[in-house]
Amino acid sequence: MAGRLDGKVAMITGAASGIGLGTVELFVAEGAQVVAADIQDEKGAMLEKRFPGKVLYAHCDVTKEADIEAAVKKAKTEFGGLDILFNNAGISDRMSTITEITAEGWSWIFDILVRGPALGMKHAAPLMLERGGGSIINTASIAGLQAGFGPIAYSTAKAGVIHMSRVAAAQLSPQKIRVNAICPGLIATSIFGASIGLPLEVADQMAARVAENASKAQPVPKAGLPDDIAQAALYLASDAAAFVSGTHLVVDGGITVGGRHAWDTTSVSPFATILGDMIPGQS
């Protein structure tokens, strides 16, 4: 059967772990060749070995423009061009509240989460133009849509990613380069452990524990997994989404549909809080 990405070349940042890794696996299964960009060189080398001729690793710190430029060039020199860019690399942080932020920490988060994807788009677009168009997908987050799903700098940066994707879509879509964002909900990856300062190996192991606990976090009673986001990225990357640009796809098992009381009958609704013992039978 024909793959949905046969003949396409993709670059994926944050490709060595979590959502990025899941997307490498799916894109390769669907026929793409992939430049897997990350800062985890050992895992990147393992990916190359796992998918010979299909995946090339590029050491690419998305805070460094030269790294991004070199990784994008690799797509051209090794695979002949670039059709798809998944700007996905990311981290979280512990500056939860506005009074905890530091100037340096704020800039660091924005460099990775916003400036990185911006520079990725800048360097990828000319190569996509040579191929007659392309698809850019930026990983945002439900934290960019609602308060309460992440630290303040992270959440603000992700809101920026959603809007940046719209503006870039307006600028690039006339040249047949579609730009969209994905807003993942809670996805069981190492990012949770890493954000609380655990060493990488421990954070990796913690992803499995997060998956065990996560099935009760949202209306859909299953844990969000990297493949759930990879499937969304596949849709946006493929010709099935030929008319989709400038939007954000929320993939969150319904966690943003409303307050927890809307779907969890054990949770107290605002009505119950307000009315309290005025509700017949409650006193």
**Residue 79: closest CA among 48, 107, 114, 53:** 53
Q: Active site residue: 154, 218, 228, 238, which one?
A: 154
Q: What is each CA distance from 203 to 17, 98, 139, 197, in whole angstroms?
A: 11, 26, 20, 9
Structure letter (DSSP) for residue 149: S
* Beta carbon of residue 49, minimum distance to ligand NAP (angstroms, whole number): 17
* Beta carbon of residue 242, minimum distance to ligand NAP (angstroms, whole number): 25
Could you give the residue ranges of the DSSP H alpha helices within 137-251? 152-172, 191-195, 200-214, 226-237
* Beta carbon of residue 93, minimum distance to ligand NAP (angstroms, whole number): 10
Six-digit token pair at 10?
């993709």
Check if 154 is active-site: yes
Six-digit token pair at 260?
């927890």
Nearer to ligand NAP, 82 or 191 (CB): 191
Nearer to ligand NAP, 141 or 156 (CB): 141
Q: Strand runs (DSSP E) across 50-125, as ranges?
A: 55-59, 84-87
Nearer to ligand NAP, 108 or 263 (CB): 108
**Residue 114: closest CA among 137, 93, 87:** 87
Residues forming contacts to ligand NAP in the complex (CB under 6 A) are: 13-14, 16-20, 38-40, 60-63, 88-91, 112, 139, 141, 184, 186-187, 189-191, 194, 200
Nearer to ligand NAP, 131 or 163 (CB): 163
* Beta carbon of residue 141, minimum distance to ligand NAP (angstroms, whole number): 4
CB 228 within 8 A of CB 193: no
Catalytic residues: 154
